[in-house]
Amino acid sequence: MLTLQDVRLGHADGPALPGTVTLRVAPGELLAVVGPSGCGKSTLLRTLAGLLPPRQGRVAQDGRAIAGPAADRALVFQEDALLPWRTVRANVELPLAIRGMPRAERRGCAADWLDRVGLAEHARKLPRQLSGGQRQRVQLARALAGRPRAVLMDEPFGALDAHTRAGMQDLLVDILRGTGATVVFVTHDVDEALHLGDRVALMGTGEVLDVPHPRRRDAQHEPGTAALRRRILASL
């Protein structure tokens, strides 16, 4: 579980953002976060990751204050954060190696995750030999291979075309199933938030709304989904 209690966000060299955030993300939940540009969505994720201390208030994972980055919380960005000189497999293995996992075990773990994201036969390639969508799948494999209890995703599919993006959403739903990971997912795309989220947090207003039919593509035209969509759009 991730909790923020009366948290004031802000970068060290900038002013604190207006207002405070109080939020509780339940174990295994996917919380989608939307809000106007500049309202602090990325700052929120960095604070949860432990990369930025809160200006005020308390940020905790499972009741323990978050004091710095930890392997238990993986970050996935929109921009490609793979090491270009390492193979796909070595990129997925890297966080496992840093955690001291023995070589044979991390080989097996990386192979398993590359298989789950459909890239088994690309393991020996370099990132630049892959498409944008494939690179994003490597990032997912790398984030999840370490079995984090929380995954913090900042517009991870924002740079992908609509078709690839829908495929990535389906893949994410598929590979999260059974991991029990808690996910905070920042997006500009209201339909993505409504599809992936159990709840949607509106960062501008502080509201957190239940999604009536999470992860059901056919729910788009259900009255509850349509009403929620209008409400979110109005808040943006």
25 forms beta bridges with 2
As a whole number of angstroms, the distance between CA 154 and CA 186 comes to: 5
Q: Please tell me the distance from the alpha carbon of residue 142 to that of residue 136, in angstroms, as a whole number.
A: 10
Q: Does position 14 bind ligand ATP by CB under 6 A?
A: yes
The pattern of x and - marking residues 217 through 236 that bind ligand ATP according to CB under 6 A reads --------------------
CB of 36 to ligand ATP, least distance (A): 7
With CB under 6 A as the contact rule, which of the stretches 11-19, 69-77, 137-145, 158-166 interacts with ligand ATP? 11-19
Query: CA-CA distance, 118 to 114, in Å (whole number)?
Result: 6
- The residue within the footprint of ligand ATP, chosen from 5, 8, 11, 235 (CB under 6 A), is 11
DSSP type of residue 122: G
Contact positions with ligand ATP (CB under 6 A) in 34-73? 35, 37-43
Give whichever of 42 and 225 is closer to ligand ATP, judged by the CB atom: 42
Residues 6+ apart with CB under 8 A from 148: 71, 72, 73, 74, 181
Give residues in contact with ligand ATP (CB under 6 A): 11, 13-14, 17, 35, 37-43
